[in-house]
Structure 1
Amino acid sequence: MMQTVLSAVLPDVPRAAVIWLSLLAVVAVTVAVLLLRPGRLASDAAAARIRSAAMPSPLESAEEERERARYAQEVAVAAERATTTAQRRREEWLAAQEAVETAWQAYEAAEADVRRLSAAAAMPLPRTARTPAEYVDRERFLHRAALDAYWRRELSVEQLSDVFAHRNGWDPRLHPVEQELVLRRAVRDNLFARHQAAREREQAAWRAAEVAAEAARSLREEAFAATGRRVEDSQSVLPLDEVVASAEGQTRENPVVARGRAAVPAY
């Protein structure tokens, strides 16, 4: 009976010995690898410390999100106000353009009056008696015509003052046709100066509109970028592959030690 058991067991002994020897070889190789590369565990530990130090805490993440939200809101409000300002500046510029056109049309009408009266003054004037009463009538005509032109905003207050002071070419003794020609020339000169001033205001309004439009455009782009950064930051994960690789590349004499949070570039 004993011989029968031994004869059944002994053939399997070499196979079991081979299995045990294989297991011992695997354990020996693993121990040898760990003994030959002790820095691997240190690198993994350093990488874990770096990742833990670089990742923001929940409180820091919440604070950063609040800051981004507040900044995006402020930029959006500024962009809306800048857009309103740009629209107002554009309306002012369009109004200035209309003022220039109106002033030019008034000047052209005054120039046509001057040409017409110049042709009339070139013809022989009717002779009138040069009496004190005639000169009073001429002076009254000049003052009345100048006042009418002033109320039509064709003469400036300075020109009207010159008319009543009889200076700067205003002579009440001239014939009414000649006085009308002098008056029309003064009106023409005043309207031309008004047109020039309107052109300067239009150019200034155009420059202001351009500046306001550019400011609104820049703020709208910044508001869009701020909103995009919030979405991107909320969906992104801090990449640490390069940091871990750098840690693994350090020498064992100078291990990497994380101090504080890692700097994250803002785009």
Structure 2
Amino acid sequence: MDSVDPEDPGQKSEFAVRVRELQVVLDGKTILDHLDLDIMRGEILGVIGASGSGKSVLARTILGLVPKRSGVIELFGKNLDDLRESERRALEQRCGVMFQQGALFSSLTIAENIQLPMRELLHLSPSLLAEMAMLKIELVGLPLDAAKKYPAELSGGMTKRAALARALALDLEILFLDEPTSGLDPIAADAFDQLLLTLKASLSLTVMMITHDLSSLHATCDRIAAIARGKIIVVGTLQHLLAHEDPWLRQYFAGERGRTIFSDEITA
């Protein structure tokens, strides 16, 4: 993978996340094999790969949820290994994550789910917590009466938006999305894509989005990174990936759905 000079301090401000030589081994199996990746500030980076290729493991390792065997992870130009625990936690609070199935607590209302990160990390009065939860609900386009509902009472699209509202509970800068449109019908998926673009623009977000949704890749991503064999095999614009010679990539985009979605790029 093409990369910039990691020793040039003048370049660090361009990156929200930098990963170098990342190795992750789980149950004796190498999942990520000296992987390199840059996520630019203000971009939506799509991450694709076959099932089991390590996409979710990569995001979880960056977030500190999965231990690495070796390598360097930087957030906002700071090596996480060099930080004190308090400094690391402060950086992690600038990140939000939306897990694939939403991971909402079924016994809590939507408002209570959204308030969880704020209760843990901020010192806010109950009235301010309630107000902040309502702001996040409105931000993601949920009806205000969703606040008192439980996850089981929401549709799939509304559940995704509620999970996104919780991911946005803190004033974050980097948003990690794991299959955000999986299980949604095409109309709900398109609406989510448009919401993501709106939030990126209004909140100046950097987004790492793991997805198999070809429409989402086409509609939202500034760049796309493909994982195979434990490494990033290519990263670039959609046009760059469509022109790449890797057999898996060619097969990934070559189906009827891919030809329909990417027809303009293929013929360009």
Say yes or no: TM over 0.5.
Answer: no
Bigger Rg, which one: 1
Q: Given the two structures, how large is their TM-score scaled by the length of structure 1? A: 0.21
Q: Which has the higher contact order (CA 8 A, sep 6+)?
A: 1
